[in-house]
Structure 1
């Protein structure tokens, strides 16, 4: 079952990586990142609602704390999807996906501030390693010819911070209710939040456009199927293994961007991406242990 769990987590990560590439394709067609994010969440919500209804008898009693933490998770995933797509629009799929995976560093810094964890040389070394990788990836070491815009970098880091918020909310909500209940509530709140920020006319025009298939594929791969695979697979493997296997996402996103979309990464950017991913993997495994 351990290898089955690793396989499911890997499939989920591949789906997430491909979803970034699909979003880039849609943005190149002129669609707004917020509209793309909304449809990814709406399709995901429909998938989770079906999953919730199929397992209705297994649902535990609901409580106010479950709704609060699920709402926190919904805010996190709304920010994550939106900032991720904004970062792709302003930079590239590879850069955006890598910056998003700085989430464990944000979790660590917040834990320091809240005194949940004690700071150690190892943890600060990991934070320093990630910062060094970000500088190489974005070209911030040369302000005259920076390779990634400030908006692309800021949105990518904001996606990572939002991802950390989702993890925090989902973990607390899942300790109270079942994952399918938590995801259904979280993505319902996600849809409500983004609805207020979305161009309603553009969102409605998607239904009659020739790109509706891309939007459906994005929602199924990037939210519905991938999250179900992930929460199922993580039950059969350790958090350390899941953390390492999840790094398939930025690698998949990078390959999709380079091979399909035609993105280009310099040798220094590639090295910076490797530094970030290796450091985050080591940190995640150590924290799990």
Structure 2
């Protein structure tokens, strides 16, 4: 079972990484990042609805707190999807993915503020290393860097912050009901939020575009199967293993950007990416109680 659940986590992380690349392809074809995010969440909603129908027990729909915290999770995932793809449109997949992967840093900072997690020298040092990695990855030390804009960098980091909001919303909602019920509410909130800023003409055009298979792949891999596989896999996987396996996502996304989308990374950017991945994984492994503070099942 341990091997099986670790494989589920690895598949989820791989799917998330590939979905970033697919989103990059759609954006390069002229699709609006909000439209791309909308369809990722809408298709994901269909999958979790089926999951809920198959496993309806313990949903918790009668609990108001479930609705509130699930809605908070929905706001977080809507911001995460849209800001991530907006960041991709400005700085590329290979830079946006590691920036978004900084999400655990924001989770820790919020946890420090809410007294959920105790700050230590190791944790502050790891956060400092992440900041150094971000500087190297984004090349902000240079006056003019082609293809990397401050708004793209900010969007990537905010995508990580929104993911932290999703994590906290999900964790509090999980005390009130089932994961499938939470995700149904969260993705429904996402759809309602993103239909407003998205280009309605493009939303309709997707239904008859030759790019429809890419949209379907994005929704299935980036939200439908991946969230289900990740949550199921977490229940019986050692937290340390789960934290290391999660590194597959930004690595896969960055490799997709370099190999498929012909994006370029210099040596210092690769070093920055490595610093971010190692530091974030360290934060995951050495959290209080031995279980990552951003683990959905803790």
Please give the TM-score of this superposition, normalised by the length of structure 1.
0.97
Residue 266 of structure 1 is matched in structure 2 by: 266
CA distance in 2, matches of 1:63, 1:279: 38
CA shift for structure 1 position 241: 1.6
Match runs of 1:111-150 below 5 Å: 111-145=111-145, 148-150=148-150
CA shift for structure 1 position 232: 0.8
The 3-state SS of whatever aligns with 1:198 is coil
CA distance in 1, matches of 2:146, 2:105: 23
CA shift for structure 1 position 144: 4.0
Question: Residues 39-64 of structure 1, C-alpha deviation per residue, up to 9 Å, x if partnerless?
Answer: 00000001111111111245345300
Contact 2:61–2:181 at 8 Å: present in 1 too?
no
CA distance in 2, matches of 1:146, 1:261: 16
Residue 68 of structure 1 is matched in structure 2 by: 68
Residue 21 of structure 2 is matched in structure 1 by: 21
CA shift for structure 1 position 147: 6.3
Q: How many residues align?
A: 289
Alpha-carbon distance change, 11 to 115 in structure 1, aligned in 2, over 3 angstroms:
same
Contact 2:61–2:67 at 8 Å: present in 1 too?
no
CA distance in 2, matches of 1:163, 1:97: 13
Residue 182 of structure 2 is matched in structure 1 by: 182
Residue 192 of structure 1 is matched in structure 2 by: 192
Q: Does 1:234 align with 2:234?
A: yes
Residue 250 of structure 2 is matched in structure 1 by: 250
CA shift for structure 1 position 117: 2.9
Contact 1:86–1:152 at 8 Å: present in 2 too?
yes
CA distance in 1, matches of 2:214, 2:205: 14
CA distance in 1, matches of 2:251, 2:83: 19
Residue 38 of structure 1 is matched in structure 2 by: 38
Match runs of 1:154-233 below 5 Å: 154-233=154-233
CA distance in 1, matches of 2:106, 2:143: 25
CA distance in 2, matches of 1:273, 1:9: 21
The 3-state SS of whatever aligns with 2:260 is helix
CA distance in 1, matches of 2:204, 2:3: 43
CA distance in 1, matches of 2:230, 2:86: 24
Q: Does 1:2 align with 2:5?
A: no
Alpha-carbon distance change, 144 to 264 in structure 1, aligned in 2, over 3 angstroms:
closer
CA distance in 1, matches of 2:179, 2:7: 19
The 3-state SS of whatever aligns with 2:208 is coil
Residue 293 of structure 2 is matched in structure 1 by: none
Residue 282 of structure 1 is matched in structure 2 by: 282
CA distance in 2, matches of 1:43, 1:61: 22
Please give the TM-score of this superposition, normalised by the length of structure 2.
0.94
Question: Residues 100-122 of structure 1, C-alpha deviation per residue, up to 9 Å, x if partnerless?
Answer: 11111111112222333332211
